Amino acid sequence: MHNCARYLIFFQYIGTKYSGVVRSPPHQQQKKGVQNHIEDAVRRLKPVNPVSLSVSSRTDSGVHALSNSAHLDLQRSNDKPPFTDDVLLEALNFHLLSEEIRVTRAQRVPADFHARYRAQSRTYVYRIALGTPHHSQLPLTDHSLCWGLHNTDIQFWELTFKSKSFLYKQVRRLTGALVAVGQGRLSVAQLRELLEARDTRAYPQGTVAPARGLFLTRVDYNQADLQFPEEGEERGLSPSVNPED
């Protein structure tokens, strides 16, 4: 498309109120995905092309992100020049003010860049609050942002997982299995068997950790893949221009 720009955006969200990061179907109106809200914000910029966000990393309902990423194409009407990175960032966040979603970075990338397939690694952190006999002893934000366990003197754990990609609920299954070993519900030998089986159906029922303690914290790319060929050229608007004009 003529004068159509592709952007990579990084964004964060508290996932408690969303159905997950990906777009929810039209018939599901009560709980939308993070993608729905970001695409709505892009539409407010009045592009002439159909709006579709390609998300790099799927997160389930209730899972949070300190940094997820996606790419989008944006073509302005009447051959107007593409938005600068800063203007796009400011405009999207303006239209996301009512949501627990914020875009932290936006940059123009080559037209063949793909946020999902060019990702080199994803990093997740699972937060476990320990030594809490009842969730009321945690601040409200901590209760909704971690898994509260009891009967231990250790106060807080963060488990970090990094890989190029993950299977569905893989981090939550691994975390739940580790906790089950610590609680004596699984032996180390049984955990080894689960890992060697490489079959999610082998995990005992009830060992999947809850979604609220899981955070996607990083999506990494090769800098060479992000290099826009016209980086040094004038290719956008000044920050004083109204992004909805």
Q: Which residues are catalytic?
A: 60
**Are 8 and 110 found together in one domain?**
yes
**Are 37 and 97 found together in one domain?**
yes
pLDDT given for residue 111 in this prediction: 94
Domains held by the chain: number: 2
Q: Is the confidence at residue 141, as pLDDT, over 90?
A: no
Instruction: Please choose, from the candidates 117, 120, 102, 23, the residue with its C-alpha nearest in 3D space to the C-alpha of residue 65.
Output: 102
Domain span including residue 204 = 123-218
**Which of these ranges, 16-30, 103-117, 210-224, has the smallest mean pLDDT?**
16-30
**Pairwise CA distance, residues 150 & 129, whole Å:** 8
**Are 142 and 113 found together in one domain?**
no
Q: How far is CA 143 from CA 40, 127, 148, 199, 234, in A?
A: 30, 11, 7, 31, 48
**Are 15 and 107 found together in one domain?**
yes
Amino acid at 56: S
13-64 tens-digit pLDDT:
999 999 999 998 877 667 899 999 999 999 999 999 999 999 999 999 999 9
Q: Is the confidence at residue 241, as pLDDT, over 60?
A: no
pLDDT given for residue 243 in this prediction: 39
Report residue 201's pLDDT band, with 50, 70 and 90 as the boundaries. confident
Please indicate whether residue 215 or residue 232 has the higher confidence score (pLDDT): 215
CATH code: domain of residue 149: 3.30.70.660
Instruction: Please choose, from the candidates 38, 61, 63, the residue with its C-alpha nearest in 3D space to the C-alpha of residue 51.
Output: 38
CATH code: domain of residue 61: 3.30.70.580
**Are 112 and 8 found together in one domain?**
yes
pLDDT given for residue 125 in this prediction: 96
Instruction: Please choose, from the candidates 76, 71, 67, 77, the residue with its C-alpha nearest in 3D space to the C-alpha of residue 110.
Output: 71
Task: Report the chain's mean pLDDT, rounded to a whole number.
Answer: 87
**Are 144 and 186 found together in one domain?**
yes
Rounded to the nearest 5°, which phi and psi values hold at 182? -65, -30
Owner of token pair 């290719």: 235
User: Domain for residue 230, yes or no?
Assistant: no
User: Domain for residue 16, yes or no?
Assistant: yes
pLDDT given for residue 65 in this prediction: 97
Q: Is the confidence at residue 145, as pLDDT, over 70?
A: yes
